[in-house]
Amino acid sequence: MTENNQAATSLLDSSLFISDEVHKRDVKLADGSTHTFYIREQEGGVLRAFGAGQFSDDPEKQADSLARLIAKAIATPDGKPALTLAQAKRLKFSVQMALAKEISEVHSYQGKGRSQDAEAPSGSDTSSP
């Protein structure tokens, strides 16, 4: 299989592939403050490496796997890496967890023509139908 198989790619919907888009997210942190972060979608191998690290028998790999994912996914508005691995490791745990949630949502498959921003709001401050 070749890297640039245009015929196969044209048969598949573009929503099946990671996007080059940088996703802007306003993240509410545990202290009640809201900060804007930019998230780049990652290839499957990066996400599999995160999962493998989480389930590793090596406590150091477990500890580092979330910071590695954050360092790869958090970006500047123009898509360049915003954090070094050392900086990502130093984030407070509650910040890491909030970012992990947002990174997970960015990587959720939304289907053809749907985006998370376009979905109807839900939660405790919205009424039920």
Please report whether residue 58 resides in a domain. yes
Cβ atoms of 103 and 70 within 8 Å: the answer is yes
Query: Does some domain include residue 24?
Result: no
DSSP 17-30: S--SPEEEEEEE-T
| pLDDT value of position 40 | 93
Sign of CA dihedral 40, 46, 50, 53: negative
| 46 domain-assigned | yes
What's the pLDDT at 16? 82
pLDDT tens per residue across span 25-45: 999 999 999 999 999 988 787
Counted domains in the chain: 1
Q: Which of 12, 50, 23 is nearest to 115 (CA)?
A: 23
pLDDT < 70 stretches in the chain: 1-10, 109-129
| CB 1 within 8 Å of CB 96 | no
Q: Which domain holds residue 56?
A: 39-106
Whole-prediction pTM: 0.72
pLDDT number for residue 48: 83
